[in-house]
């Protein structure tokens, strides 16, 4: 998988040098939710940095290739009471990293240099890597109770996104992006469903 992302980085650099197209940055925050069989569903607050190369631009459309990197953190707290053992409290902290390579078709605001549209939209697909802390619940017959185990796991799989952009400023050179994201893990032991909602400022 490392080779795939290395190849993507080389392709992005090649597009930049050979065609001198626009390089766009976006930063923001959002929420990711993930879950798989025999694991606890987890929600993470994420911070996202989204670089992309825009090419094949027309008056108000373009194709772009990007690697939106999201890093997130989560915290859970569980408390159970047993008449014999009393209160049992458990706190867990987790992390997640999501890094897909996405190819998007862009229309309207944020799609092409000089586009004066106030609103814009995009849709795309790609392939991603997802890693993080996974919590699974198991039953311990010795103590007649359920317990939570936490460990780091990773998966890769196809991804898709769709979103809208709102141009800001007098010349609409920057925009606010609201994006939804979905990825299905298909490799490794953690075949998770991963969904995200982020809000970015592109400049």
Domain count, the chain: 1
Rounded to the nearest 10 degrees, how much is the dihedral formed by the CA atoms of 10, 16, 17, 22?
-170
Would you say residue 2 has pLDDT above 60?
no
Beta bridge mates, 73: 45, 95
How much is the mean pLDDT over the chain? 87
pLDDT for the residue numbered 136: 80
In a domain, 139, yes or no: yes
H helix runs in the chain, sequence order: 2-19
- State the Rg of the chain over Cα: 20
Q: What is the CATH number of the domain that holds 160?
A: 2.40.160.20
Beta bridge mates, 64: 54, 104
In a domain, 62, yes or no: yes
pLDDT tens-digit series, residues 44-98: 999 999 999 999 999 999 999 999 999 999 987 666 666 666 676 667 899 999 9
What is the mean pLDDT of the segment spanning 150-164?
97
Q: pTM to 2 decimals?
A: 0.82
In a domain, 84, yes or no: no
Print the domain residue range for 108. 2-79+90-202
CA 82 to chain centre: 39
In a domain, 85, yes or no: no
pLDDT tens-digit series, residues 21-46: 899 999 999 999 999 988 889 999 99
């Amino acid at each position: 998988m490392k080779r795939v992302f290395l190849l993507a980085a080389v392709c992005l650099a090649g597009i930049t040098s050979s065609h001198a197209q626009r390089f766009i940055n976006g930063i923001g925050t959002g929420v990711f939710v993930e879950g798989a069989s025999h694991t606890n569903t987890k929600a993470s607050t994420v911070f996202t940095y989204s670089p992309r190369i825009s090419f094949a631009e027309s008056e108000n459309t373009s194709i772009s290739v990007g690697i939106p990197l999201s890093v997130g953190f989560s915290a859970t707290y569980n408390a159970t009471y047993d008449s014999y053992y009393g209160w049992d409290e458990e706190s867990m902290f987790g992390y997640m990293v999501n890094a897909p390579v996405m190819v998007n078709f862009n229309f309207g605001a944020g799609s092409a240099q000089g586009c004066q549209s106030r609103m814009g939209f995009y849709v795309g697909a790609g392939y991603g890597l997802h890693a993080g802390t996974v919590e699974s619940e198991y039953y311990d017959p010795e103590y007649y109770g359920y317990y939570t185990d936490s460990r780091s796991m990773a998966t890769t799989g196809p991804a898709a996104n769709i979103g809208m952009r709102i141009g800001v400023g007098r010349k609409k050179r920057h925009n606010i992006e609201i994006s939804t994201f979905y990825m299905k893990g298909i490799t490794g032991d953690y075949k998770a469903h991963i969904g995200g909602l982020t809000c970015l400022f592109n400049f």
